[in-house]
Amino acid sequence: MEEVTEAIQKLTTHVRARMRLESKLDRTKKGAHSIDFLGMPAVDFYVGESIKRLYDPEGWDWKFEERTLSEQLIRIANKLISDKSKQYLNKQAKTPVFDNRDIGDIYDVEAVADDNIEGKEEEYSRLIDMAYEVAKGDDDLEYFLLRYLDGAKYMTIAQEMGIELEQVHVLRKKIVRRLITNKDKIR
């Protein structure tokens, strides 16, 4: 029993050191070893999982004749820490990154519009009329379109409507989809 207690203490000390707990470089504040990602404090997770894997018949190939209990547990914890880091990085790589800037902050939309409007005034006018037509009956779409055509930034529209910025983008996409499905009427 004393060997088990000593092994768990060594494992806990090792995991705390790997997580750099209580230092400026504490790895549990955010990322792969945070409570948000693991669902519990990192030390509890890695110590508990190491013990569980050691005794799980399909969890770990324990070389009991070559290594002590504490060495085995530390090897398991190191593998788990590495695996969680890879899992987190893979998840981050697959997570889309949203640019929350308004398109007007990136491009001078009016300058682009002015460059492209010459000779196409009638077509743009029909497009705007069609946008109002496809938005008709949907208060959110109508308001978004009105404010958008007034030149309001997306963040301003979101604040005025009391919605998240992503929902403003959804409204824009909704109008575009409706315009595309009714494109024959525009021409």
Rounded mean pLDDT, 23-36: 86
Tell me which H or E stretch contains 133: helix 121-135
Q: Indicate the range of 1-10, 57-66, 78-87, 88-97 predicted with least confidence.
A: 57-66
Q: Where are the domains of the chain?
A: 2-94, 103-186
Residues 6+ apart with CB under 8 A from 160: 143, 147, 152
> Given this model, what pLDDT does residue 99 score?
58
| 154, 102 contact by CB (below 8 A) | yes
> What secondary structure, in 3-state letters, does 73-116 show?
HHHHHHHHHHHHHHHHHHHHHHCCCCCCCCHHHHCCHHHHHHHH
Distance CA 73, CA 103 (A): 53
> Given this model, what pLDDT does residue 139 score?
87
Helices (H), 150-182: 154-161, 165-181
Rounded mean pLDDT, 90-99: 71
- Percent of the chain at pLDDT > 70 equals 79
| pLDDT tens per residue across span 157-171 | 888 888 888 898 888
> Given this model, what pLDDT does residue 180 score?
82
- Percent of the chain at pLDDT > 90 equals 6
> Given this model, what pLDDT does residue 112 score?
47
Say yes or no to pLDDT of 107 above 60. Answer: no
Say yes or no to pLDDT of 104 above 60. Answer: no
Give helix then strand counts, H and E, for the chain.
Answer: 11, 0
Distance CA 159, CA 165 (A): 8
Say yes or no to pLDDT of 59 above 70. Answer: no
* Token pair belonging to 130: 């069609």
CA distances for 92 relative to 32, 37, 44, 84, 182, angstroms: 10, 11, 24, 12, 38
> Given this model, what pLDDT does residue 109 score?
47
Residue labelled with tokens 């880091």: 85
Say yes or no to pLDDT of 49 above 70. Answer: yes
Report the chain's mean pLDDT, rounded to a whole number.
80
Distance CA 5, CA 123 (A): 79
| Residue type (1 letter), 158 | A
- Choose among 157, 186, 187: nearest CA to 170: 157
